[in-house]
Structure 1
């Protein structure tokens, strides 16, 4: 059985399709999925999904690219995570300089401070981190080290960086998660990186509704299709699909400090 380590089932694309989405997961042998928070106003919906469905988990946090949404306090993140057993992680958080454009480096300080708040909260409540980084890997790793993210660990989600960045993250206890991007024809370098990631540090995800894997590229992604990503990576790493599913599922529970259910 596969596990989708990162999806967004609270997004509008799924509101009228949730029973179908869950049924598709079962048919594709996807046992569980982690629904990831991206802002505070919608975080109650993420939590409710996890509370209403035994095979869904939740996180709490604010995406680094959501500049206009309220930033969470450390106290809010800690209290929310500790008061709800289905919340298994803090995030997604991190740095995203993709839309910085002509703005100065200093103008992104709000993002770096928000990232530090999430790391401190994760350490305080002993929940792992879900890290997003885009065009900001150097600062991302630097802040992770400065704030002691090695104390709690977590995952570099939807990984698209170099092996050197992956190794820096793994050296401080983080897992590396690959999305449908690894199946794209343009992702030759990423596939080479994926081959180098040790099996005991590997996770898979859809990041749905985005980034549908081949052969569904361009469609609305869904957790069932993590099985396609798993099969692609199994072939890439020359292991059986069953091995890949078992190992990445075991890694999921280890990463998120959970007893397997």
Structure 2
């Protein structure tokens, strides 16, 4: 019977390419009947679709993880040792964590205390900050101020500004940054004069190029050694990633 001829399990159909090639030789009438059989089979066994979707999603996830791993390894020096990004935690730590962040990013601000706790609890983590201002002019202004502060006042001054900006909730302007700098005892005149310098522009541009190479389009994005993790992470998730890396 024609119906019996086409009553093939879908798993068998997709598992054997030769079967699919044979289907290319169906007549128009046979093709219509085959499609009807497939539809009837799916309606009677909808769990097949769920299984197929789950397998597809897992394959896509595995492919993304593999691609990210290769990208992170290919760009390891730019990520971990660019010579200009602020390094927090233990500079000689056995695990390097990189964060691409934006001072206007709500999830970056939410992750900030989680990161601080991670560094406080684990004295063997090296933490690298990548300024990636992607959320408008206020983001760019804040990053320029922070980077200029590092150039003028060094790492300690940068950390003071960085931490304050991560907790800052108001609008960012030259006036608010000046007040912030003055409160922290920073030479704001020198910082403001440095903000639009080629050096600051080059650092922001280099971080942007690196983010594009890593297919990073949002903040926060973390790179735990060679594992790229996009989006907000809770402390427990960070700790688990570090534990897994050390166990490798």
- TM-score bracket, shorter-length normalisation: under 0.3
TM-score normalized by structure 2? 0.28
TM (normalized to structure 1)?
0.27
> Where is the strand percentage greater, Structure 1 or Structure 2?
1
More helix by share: 2
Q: Larger radius of gyration, structure 1 or 2?
A: 2
